Amino acid sequence: MNKSEFIKNTALEIGFDACGIAKADFLEEDAFFLKSWLGNNFHGEMSYLERNFAKRTDPRIIVEGCKSVIVTLLNYYPSQFQNPNVPKIAKYAYSKIDYHVIIKEKLFLLENKIIAKYGEACFNKNQQHRFVDSAPVLERRWAERAGLGWIGRNKMLINPMLGSFCFIGILMINAELDYDEPIQNRCGTCRKCLDACPTNALTKEKGLDSRKCISYQTIEKKGKISEDIRPKLSGYIYGCDICNDVCPWNKTRTKATQTAELEASDKIINWKFQNWENLNEEEFYRIFKHSAIQRAGFNKLKENIMT
């Protein structure tokens, strides 16, 4: 078993649902697109996306000596769902524990097993090299380059076996490995996600206009939800799953997560409208203390509930 096979097999043993490897390189096309996207102000108030541009498009700047990008997927599709008539939470935030914590722990285990097998020289210990949706890393593009799927018209990574309800974890390693080949985009002529988006946030060529996105409006946007978006929230108070739910690749292939830590919170599954409406600040911080829902904060979530 060579190094790449060991890494992939170990990732699966740890509990990841898929693992691929890409050569660390400059993302030239993404750099060009990102400049245009930012120039159109599609990022809204997310000014952090303007920073660290060079790092965002070249992992070798993020981690000195980086030669390979190990990409992992973790399925988070729940086995239970909210009542559709209550204020809705995006499925990725169903669990009691923030997914960042869960994936970082698994990446830490993977790193330690690699070190135990091949030595500490594989990693630059002086720099961060484990990433989960919280650093200037284009995770979906690296997953695509690592052969784990393609970026669909809903701008989500779509894996042919798992669908798009997957978290992406990144481990940057200072070693040459065997690299996976990207797979062909299989969206074909389908435009279900484009047609289903109630705010027209998805564009066919220019990417996602975050300012119109329900997820952005209910989480990232400071202050009140835009007046023109309020009637189109479709019941969501935190995030949105519409473009995922209508995707045909999620209709037949998506299976419930096997990761116990990602199982849905009883509160989210069982709460009625009155529970959400009567939620107070003390309850919010007690119930959602370790949840991804913390990102919005109590005031933002409460305002979304009352919108």
Q: Which residues are identified as catalytic?
A: 133
The beta strands (E) that lie in the chain are given as 18-23, 68-75, 88-89, 130-131, 150-151, 157-158, 166-173, 202-203, 207-208, 236-238
- Residues 137, 142: Cα–Cα separation, whole Å: 9
Dihedral sign (CA 115, 116, 117, 120)? positive
CA-nearest of 160, 138, 141 to 149 is 160
CA-nearest of 15, 17, 181, 179 to 108 is 15
Tokens 């599709």 sit on residue: 77
- Residues 12, 30: Cα–Cα separation, whole Å: 29
| CB-count exposure of residue 305 (10 Å: 0-12, 13-18, 19+) | middle
Q: Are 81 and 180 in contact (CB under 8 A)?
A: no
Dihedral sign (CA 292, 298, 304, 306)? positive
What are 74's strand-pairing partners?
Answer: 167
- Residues 216, 222: Cα–Cα separation, whole Å: 10
Amino acid letter for position 256: A
